[in-house]
Amino acid sequence: MNDPRSRILPVLREGEQLFWVGQPDPRVHFTRADAFLIPFSVLWGGFAVVWEVLAIAAVRQPLFMIWGIPFVLVGLYFIFGRFIIKKRRKISTVYALTSSRAIVCTGERSVADSPVMGMPTKVDRSRSGRHISVTFGYQGMAGLMGMYQNTGLDIFSLGMGQTVAFYDVIDTDGLMAALDRARVG
């Protein structure tokens, strides 16, 4: 895997100082939202599978069989697929904090950033205290849809102005020190 710094250096602006570079921990699978999402996904998926089995075995109407397929696929994504997508995204994500911006590089080409100065910053520590997540900027509509961020269901908040955030960072001390340094300017 590439060095995270090598992915950040090309996106730095002239005169910008790099304070911190890190990545999310791909071993962290669950968020607080999963307390709702897991039971919901099991109910959704279970209902969809029962519908499809009944449509095939009892009703035998092609329309009912076809109607249930998308619901089964969505249910499978809710139950399993979102965790696979989330882990893949975490493996390919690099975070950076500079003298002026918070930068998130996902994949090879996707870059999102947010100013650091004058913007609200929300810091959440995991229950164990081993990881932190930092959200930059105003929540706006993303605050409403933000419950889906970092769950693998991020697709539901596309176009709603996703916030720039560093999720499940294991280097808590390094990131907090860089945040303090960036705020001072």
Task: Specify the pTM.
Answer: 0.84
Domain boundaries, position 130: 97-184
Whether residue 103 sits in one domain with residue 45: no
Q: What is the pLDDT of residue 110?
A: 75
Residue 102 and residue 82 share a domain:
no
61 lies in the same domain as 117: no
The pair phi, psi for residue 111, each rounded to 5°, is -130, 130
Q: Is 4 within a domain?
A: no
* 18 occurs within a structural domain: no
64 with 113, same domain? no
Examine the domain organization and report whether 115 and 178 are in the same domain. Answer: yes
**179 and 152 in a common domain:** yes
User: Is residue 117 located within the same domain as residue 167?
Assistant: yes
Q: Is residue 150 part of a domain?
A: yes
User: Is the Cβ–Cβ distance between 168 and 28 less than 8 Å?
Assistant: yes
Residues 80 and 117 in one domain: no
pLDDT at 161: 55
At 169 the pLDDT is 96
Q: Is residue 29 part of a domain?
A: no
- In degrees and rounded to multiples of 5, residue 148 shows phi and psi of -90, -15
Whether 73 and 118 map to the same domain: the answer is no
Structural domains counted in the chain: 2
Decide if 27 is inside a domain.
no
Q: What pLDDT shows up at residue 163?
A: 75
Q: Among 53, 86, 119, give the residue marking a domain's end.
A: 86
Q: What does the pLDDT read at residue 150?
A: 83
Q: What is the pLDDT along the chain (185 residues), one digit of tens a residue?
A: 578 898 899 999 999 999 999 999 999 998 888 889 999 999 999 999 999 999 999 887 888 889 999 999 999 999 999 999 999 999 999 999 999 899 999 877 778 888 777 676 888 898 888 999 998 876 555 455 566 778 888 766 655 556 788 999 999 999 999 998 887 55
Q: Are residues 71 and 121 in the same domain?
A: no
Q: Pick from 43, 63, 86: which residue ends a domain?
A: 86
Q: Is there a single domain that holds both residue 133 and residue 159?
A: yes
Residue 73 belongs to a domain: yes
Is residue 172 one of the residues assigned to a domain?
yes
Beta partners for 106? 93, 110
Q: How far is CA 121 from CA 73, 92, 99, 117, 163, in A?
A: 37, 24, 15, 10, 11
Integer Cα distance of 37 and 83 in angstroms: 12
Same domain for 105 and 75: no
Instruction: Give the per-residue pLDDT at 129.
Output: 85
28 falls within a domain: no
Task: Say what the pLDDT of residue 158 is.
Answer: 57
